[in-house]
Amino acid sequence: MSNVLNGRTQLVKAVHGSQQLKQDPDFEIGLAEHLRTQYDRSALINLYGRFAAGDSDYDILMRRVIWRAMARQFGHGVQIGTNVNFKHLETFEIGNGVFIGGQTFIQGWFKGRCIIGNNVWIGPQSYFDARDLIIEDFVGWGPGAKVLCSSHTGLPIETEIIQTDFEVKSVKIESGSDIGMNAVILPGVTIGKGSIVGAGAVVTKDVPPYAIVAGVPAKFLRWREGYEPKKNIEHKQ
């Protein structure tokens, strides 16, 4: 690891996703199962409110326990920051080693799906319209970044937009991609494997694997260093 001297760049070893996974203890899993059988969803949400804002080891433990009790699937080694909130947690499938930064909000849908894969890192103050969302393994999600899976149709024209039907479109963030701080991913978009979305970008269409995009709307800048796309594939972004 290099040092910073006179303004030079410093390289620091990555931590998240490279640590060996530790299984959550049996008592924690047992407590989650007990809460699941003894309390309904409303009661569990109220209980979560008692621990949402605290940063003690007990608060952190109880946030994880309650998520495990409510979620459709919940992995080991998950970290949930302070004041993380949700809707329809029962539709969530959370992998191993996931980090969810403080003040993040994940809005599920009662008949939707929200899948967050293994070793995903989510920065604080992020927002997820997770009505139909898949985030694959080893995705980095910058602080304040947002995703939308739905929008109003705006039709018919004589109807107020807010009164028109909702259109839900699946969003997929493929493995190993990196979403920059305050970026916005719009409905129906797929972010290709290993791609990079620049900070503040607004992504309106699919991003191919190993591409770097940025801007409003996001446009293709270049391929990631070391990636050589097939010569017979023409990229139009």
Q: Which residues 6+ apart lie within 8 Å of 17 measured at CB?
A: 97, 119, 121, 138
- DSSP one-letter code for 163: G
Distance from C-alpha of 38 to C-alpha of 91, rounded to nearest angstrom: 20
Distance from C-alpha of 132 to C-alpha of 134, rounded to nearest angstrom: 7
DSSP string, 70-99: HSSEE-SS-EE-TT-EEE-GGGEEE-TT-E
152 is catalytic: yes
Spot the catalytic one: 34, 76, 88, 152. 152
At residue 94's C-alpha, the angle toward residues 92 and 100, to 5°, is: 100
Q: How many C-beta neighbours within 10 Å does residue 82 have?
A: 16
Phi-psi map region of 154: left, alpha, beta (phi>0 left; psi -120 to 50 alpha):
left
Distance from C-alpha of 64 to C-alpha of 54, rounded to nearest angstrom: 13
Amino acid at 91: T
Catalytically annotated residues: 152
